[in-house]
Structure 1
Amino acid sequence: MTEQSGKSPVGIIGGTGLTSLSDLRITGEESVTTAWGEPSSSLLRGQLGDQPVVFLSRHGNPHRIPPHQVNYRANIQALHDAGARVVVGVNAVGGIHGDMGPAHIVVPDQLIDYTWGRESTFFEGDLAEVTHIDFTWPYDQEAREVLIESARLAGVPFSAFGVYGATQGPRLETAAEIRRMERDGCDIVGMTGMPEAVLAAERGLRYVSLGLVVNWAAGKTDHIITMAEIEEAIAQGMSGVKQILEGSMEKLGRLSPTP
């Protein structure tokens, strides 16, 4: 399904606060279901300039679904069925790299999956054949370049690289786990990067992550992580996330579908 303008909508997965983008006109809300069950929330459609967009709240509205219980398959399928061929996953993450502190924005280029037990593929069950997808580069490079250009034009401090370490949650990590992840090469840590990215790849979507660092990872400071500091970092960094999204939607919408 596509918008009346003839353009495919750009899908955005994140929190409900993202729908306060400037110049965004909300055009409708749809409760949908998929062959993989119910997505986390209804789909909220809108128009940002000439570009249609469709939002999905990853943790539900209100925020109630923990990361390990998100129905990632239904979420990706719902956006695919809604006509999206480019998807931006906005992720709250912890900073491991020394330059990636609270309120910093990261456009990651790689990831390492530490999750377990999640429904992580569409290719299972009664299959006609086994399917293996290439996942060498988990994030679409053309979509990354659009976000990077938008961040530069907006003057938003950001990093144009980063290895995202995806953990199971819902608990935060131990200091020892973060030390191991740092040895593995991780720059940021979060709980929602997988299997969202691989499911998007299986459905042929251009998928890119926009990470907002909301705290230093465990052991990177001498104090425990609190919700107060996370909320403060979100308040400080969300304006930059919105500026990047606002400046990139039209160009993301012009990207051709993957072959």
Structure 2
Amino acid sequence: MTKLAIIGGTGVYDPRILENVREEEILTPYGAVRYKVGEYAGRAIAFIPRHGSKHSIPPHLINYRANIWAMKKIGVQAILATTAVGSLNTDMKPGDFVLINQFLDFTKNRVHTFYEGGERGVVHVDVTEPYCPALRQKLEKAAKKIGIAIHTKGTYVCTEGPRFETPAEIAMFAKLGGDVVGMTNVPEVVLAREAEMCYATVSMVTNYAAGISAQPLTHGEVLDTMKANTENIKRLIMETISLIDPDADCTCRHALAEYGGFQL
């Protein structure tokens, strides 16, 4: 059974960090999902490039529900996600890694739940700790072990995209306590929580956000920074995987206990 998964963000499209890679497809109530499965340290690992293998899916059109449902269906219990972000916090510089522990949601047109009434009913999932503390600790431990500096907490501001934010928006987000800004982590983190899966995000700062950056923002700038740090983020993810016991119990696995648990 495949108990661990990687969801790769911008710049992290290459499943060759795994061995014996094969492509599979699964049908979900929200559409078909194609993903890769490979091996690392004797474990089966699923891999989904969030934007598609050729960055062809914009952030507001990613099928978040299908991706998370598919991973749950194949038995995944823990997800490590990567994201590329702009920085609102000058202590978090381009090239830095950040372990996200909170989010601010400024998306507009996305479905954030598997529960929309009808036969599935309605649930109100607790997101006091939206990101799995146990996985975050493993990421921190792995970073220290391989000598990669990492910010151990940060608040992720999620915007709708695909446009970049205005300087006025960035100034507002910073006043509200945001540290980094991206376009993909919500609703992915919320859906993983509903599905009672451990989920953690490591973000790479690729640029300073609008109004902080001294120059106009470009997607090329994001890709260049990601390319320069791709090996480090791969090393971090793979070292973390070697530390994870996917069968260890966690509060994330009981997020919907009062509703009788998550049902596929």
- Same structural fold, with TM-score higher than 0.5 when normalized by the shorter chain: yes
The DSSP-based 3-state class of the residue aligned with 2:57 is: coil
What does the per-residue CA deviation read over 1:3-45, in whole Å, with 9 as the maximum and x for residues that have no partner?
xxxxx43111115534232xx3134210222011133xx1100
Contact 1:148 1:160 in 2 (8 A): yes
Q: Write the deviation string for residues 211-259 of structure 1: whole angstroms up to 9, x where unpaired.
A: 0111111111221112332222111222221111111112224452523
**Post-superposition shift, 1:206?**
0.3
**Percent of aligned positions that are identical:** 34
The match for 2:5 is 11
Alignment-derived partner of residue 179 in structure 1: 171
Structure 1 gaps of 5+ residues are 3-7
SS at match of 1:250: helix
The residue type equivalent to 1:14 in the other structure is G
Within 5 Å, give how 1:1-259 maps onto structure 2.
2=1, 8-15=2-9, 17-21=13-17, 24-39=18-33, 42-127=34-119, 129-257=121-249, 258-259=253-254
- Give the Cα–Cα distance (whole angstroms) in 2 for the partners of residues 100 and 20 of structure 1: 29
Q: Helix, strand or coil: the match of 1:33?
A: strand
* Amino acid aligned to 1:89: A
Kept after mapping to 2: 8 A contact 1:95/1:187? yes
Give deviations 1:84-105, integer Å, cap 9, x for gaps.
Answer: 1101111111111112121111
TM-score w.r.t. the length of structure 1 is 0.91
**Partner SS state of residue 256, structure 1:** coil
Deviation by residue 1:117-143 (Cα, 9 ceiling, x = unmatched): 101100114136431111111100000
Partner deviation per Cα, 1:176-217 (whole Å, 9 max, x = no partner): 100000001000000001000000000000010010111111
CA 1:99–1:26: 2 relative to 1, 3 Å = farther
Aligned-partner SS, 2:31: coil
Distance 1:128 1:237, change over 3 A: closer
Q: Compute the displacement of 1:157 (Å).
A: 1.9
2: CA distance, partners of 1:193 / 1:56: 14
- Letter matched to residue 20 of structure 1: R
Q: How many residues align?
A: 249
Contact 1:36 1:73 in 2 (8 A): yes
Aligned-residue CA RMSD in angstroms?
1.5
Amino acid at match of 2:5: G
